[in-house]
Amino acid sequence: MIHKIKALHDEGQGLSICAIGQELGISRNTVASRQRRYYEPVLDMVPGVQCQVDPGELREVMIGGEPRTVYFVVFVLAYSRLS
């Protein structure tokens, strides 16, 4: 999100990612919680032919009382978007 703001509004002013984040009060690693994802239906696919793969990570997840980074991969089957 911060990178998009910089690309749209920097206009050669030399704004840093850090400065934008501080001004907005967010980190560049901020994850939107409970955000609904919209998947565009793919109507020309048959079951089992194509899928979308999205890797991600969550930082500072408390596991066993210690902050850890959790890495994950989400697979969305193109045919399952129809429902």
pLDDT category, 77, cuts 50, 70, 90? Answer: confident
The pLDDT score that the predictor gives to residue 72 is: 92
User: pLDDT tens for residues 35-71?
Assistant: 676 766 656 666 777 788 889 988 888 888 899 999 9
Q: Decide the pairing of beta strands 51-63 and 66-77.
A: antiparallel
Distance CA(52)–CA(78), nearest Å, equals 7
Instruction: Name the percent of the chain lying above pLDDT 70.
Output: 40
Environment class of 42 (CB within 10 Å of its CB; exposed 0-12, middle 13-18, buried 19+): middle
The size of the chain, in residues, is 83
Instruction: Name the percent of the chain lying above pLDDT 90.
Output: 10
